Structure 1
Amino acid sequence: MEFLRSFGSAGLFIHAMIDAIIFPIPAFFLQLSLSALNPENAIWLATLGYAGCLAGTPIGYAIGRTSGNLVLARFMKKKWLDSATTLFRRHGEKAILIGSFTPIPFKLFTIMSGCMNYPLWKLLGYAAIGRAVKFYVVGILFYIYGRAAEHMVDRVLGITLLVVGVLFSVVWLLISRFRKRKKLERTVVRMEER
């Protein structure tokens, strides 16, 4: 991290990109330290981190497509990998969306998406939403509150991400129920027509 910090904002872009691929330390920590040093550039730093993450997402996906099982087996116990695979198959979209702004390493989602042949365009779409929340909440807090945001981030960010996660889950549930109801109505209409 010290090496990447020495490159400033370019280091954050690189860190965010490799964070989506394989790097073990989330870019969030570098964003925090750079934003604390220069709060007036916090929005620009959030933008660079966000862009870097989106640039690295297809690379992590490609790793997942080519050798995902081998890579994931090195980082996860077999029972966790089996459990994560089952959950991802059942709730892939929700997992990516919620996981993209939680502390769970995002590389797991990019690699697992490739491993499961999940559509890349959907991965990028959900990553764009979730990662924007994660990077810009920090950027906006530092831009508005300056260095005082450093003490707020742990409290406010955790609560904000939890609230956003709950809101996404509720909206997702409502959309899913609406789709199921529409599908059921179409099925009933078809049966009545016969």
Structure 2
Amino acid sequence: MLRRIYDWCIIAADRPYALWIIAAVSFAESSFFPVPPDVMLIPMSLARPQRAWLYAVICTVASVAGGLLGYAIGAVLYDSIGQWLIQLYGYGDKVEAFRTAYAEYGAWIILLKGLTPIPYKIVTITSGFAGYNLPLFVLFSVIARGGRFFIVAILLNRYGSWIRSQIEARLGMWVAIGAAVLVAGFIIAVRLF
């Protein structure tokens, strides 16, 4: 099954709808979807290393746009959808502490959590709930998310063929490592919140 998903992502890089798919995943991940765009970004960049930069731009723009939806959920719909999403991811009892921390460390929270595997949707929803300055939220989101996606693009553009051979030789191991990093991100988020 892993091989089929990986192969589909590799093949999708050559399809006209590739940019729409990676944009949709990036957008959704920043506001409600649990799967990070790296699932699409990495195989598509491996298939077309020369387009890694374009994929990073698309991921950044769509992720920040999705972040604005997450911000709106936190600002306008927190009592219904926002609170439900926060509870779904197990952060319900940590939101007030996070909101208080925003008063002092908002920029650092957005920058650091946007670069890590910690679920970014938690940052976006809580930023809206905390009423964090919207233009600063957008600026720091562009820096953090762009930084994350462009680091991947740089590595895959430069070392793509070697990385691809390593991933394809040990796909199960790399997926397990990716899943472990994602789970670790959730655990870290719970402990840091």
Counting matched residue pairs gives 154
Superposed CA offset, 1:59-80 (max 9, x none): 1111111222523233224433
1:108 maps onto 2:118 in alignment = no
Which of 141, 148, 159 matches 1:134?
Answer: 148
Per the normalisation by structure 2, the TM-score is: 0.70
Counterpart of 2:71 in structure 1 is 61
- Which amino acid in structure 2 is aligned with residue 60 of structure 1? G
Contact in 1 for aligned 2:86/2:92 (Cα 8 Å): no
User: In 1, Cα distance between the equivalents of 2:77 and 2:140?
Assistant: 23
Structure of greater Rg: 1
- What secondary structure does 1:108 align onto? helix
Q: Which moved more, 1:141-150 or 1:23-32?
A: 141-150
- Where structure 1 has 5 or more consecutive residues not aligned to the other structure, the ranges are 159-194
1:9 maps onto 2:19 in alignment = yes
1:81 maps onto 2:95 in alignment = yes
Counterpart of 1:117 in structure 2 is 131
User: In 1, Cα distance between the equivalents of 2:125 and 2:147?
Assistant: 21
Contact in 1 for aligned 2:67/2:124 (Cα 8 Å): yes
- Where structure 2 has 5 or more consecutive residues not aligned to the other structure, the ranges are 168-173, 182-193
Contact in 1 for aligned 2:64/2:141 (Cα 8 Å): yes
User: In 1, Cα distance between the equivalents of 2:155 and 2:91?
Assistant: 37
Counterpart of 2:190 in structure 1 is none
Q: Tell me how large the CA RMSD over aligned residues is.
A: 2.6
User: In 2, Cα distance between the equivalents of 1:118 and 1:77?
Assistant: 19
Alignment of 1:1-194 (within 5 A): 5=9, 6=12, 7-69=17-79, 70=83, 71-150=85-164
- Which amino acid in structure 2 is aligned with residue 79 of structure 1? D
The percentage of counterpart residues that share the same residue type is 24
Per the normalisation by structure 1, the TM-score is: 0.70
